[in-house]
Amino acid sequence: MHPRPIPAVVMMFLQLGLLSLAVHAKEKCNDTTEYEDDGKCCNKCPPGTSMTKKCEGSKNSSCAKCEDGYYNHEYSNFHPCEVCASCSVIGQVEVKSCTKTSNRVCACPNGTHEVTSGELKLCCSNCSPGEKITKECGVDLRTNCTPCDDETYSNGSGICIPCTKCESSEYEILPCAKTNDRRCEPKERVRHVTASKQQTKDDARVNDIVVFITAAFVVVAGVIILYSQFKCRRASIMDMESSKTI
């Protein structure tokens, strides 16, 4: 008697089950700290190290620390440690030092800007507000600057910008200077603000008058009360003296 063949539907479900198990086997690896190799999860090397030998059988991957001057900032598999950057721009300073887990960070100091001159990169000094760059620096790192022309200004960018011109419907409330732009406001708004300020001054003046009158009233009332008390006491004393005489 021959064994009965397995129905096609059962075979399909078995295949789906095996496929599901395979998918779950792949999904169980931690993408950050592990990698999948030949159907199993192997450990990645942590930051500050690089892999020297991948996992075999039950053995974990072999990792070695980055050498001085090299770094690796993430978990990796067969990703070599990278050389730390050098502060190659003339005048740059180290903002963050090179470690086994992070690259060196360099920047031009405050008050300077980076300039490329041929094959050289330099940190040139900034011009002061009110000045423009006439020539970028050389190896001395000193930028040549001159004052802005009339009706132009610079806030320290090294470029002089034409000042804004007020329209006929505007008042100038801040004049153009070498270090700042002209500021204009609509005349209606200026009138409204001026009227509001005047009203505030008037209100303050009225308040001062009210306070003065109130204070004067209190003083006069106090004097009257004291004078009345004085007269009463004096009359009482005189009555007592008169009764003694009688």
Domains observed in the chain: 26-107 (2.10.50.10)
Instruction: Check: CB of residue 87 under 8 Å from CB of residue 76.
Output: no
Q: How far is CA 164 from CA 96, 122, 183, 200, 222, in A?
A: 42, 34, 7, 31, 62
Amino acid in position 174: L
Cα separation, 221 vs 240, whole angstroms:
29
pLDDT of residue 1: 46
**In degrees to the nearest 10, what's the CA dihedral of 93, 98, 103, 108?**
0
Runs of H (alpha helix) within the chain: 8-27, 187-245
Q: What is the pLDDT of residues 203-243, one digit of tens each?
A: 678 788 888 888 888 888 888 888 888 778 777 777 676 66
Distance of CA 194 to the CA centre of its chain: 36
**Cα separations (Å) of 83 from 22, 123, 129?**
39, 23, 40
With H, G, I as helix, E, B as strand and everything else as coil, classify residue 240.
helix
- For the chain, give the percent of residues with pLDDT over 90: 54
CA distances from 227 to 69, 89, 158, 241 (A): 96, 90, 78, 21
Give the model's pLDDT for residue 191. Answer: 67
- Burial class from Cβ neighbours inside 10 Å (0-12, 13-18, 19+) for residue 169 reads exposed
Instruction: Give the percent of the chain with pLDDT over 70.
Output: 80
pLDDT score recorded for residue 6: 57
Question: Over the chain, what is the mean pLDDT?
Answer: 85
The residue whose two tokens read 């007592």 is 240
Cβ contact 89:103 at 8 Å: no
How many alpha carbons lie under 13 Å from residue 40 in its C-beta half-sphere?
10
How much is the pTM? Answer: 0.55
Q: Are the CB atoms for 81 and 66 separated by under 8 Å? A: yes
Contact 154, 178 (CB under 8 A): yes
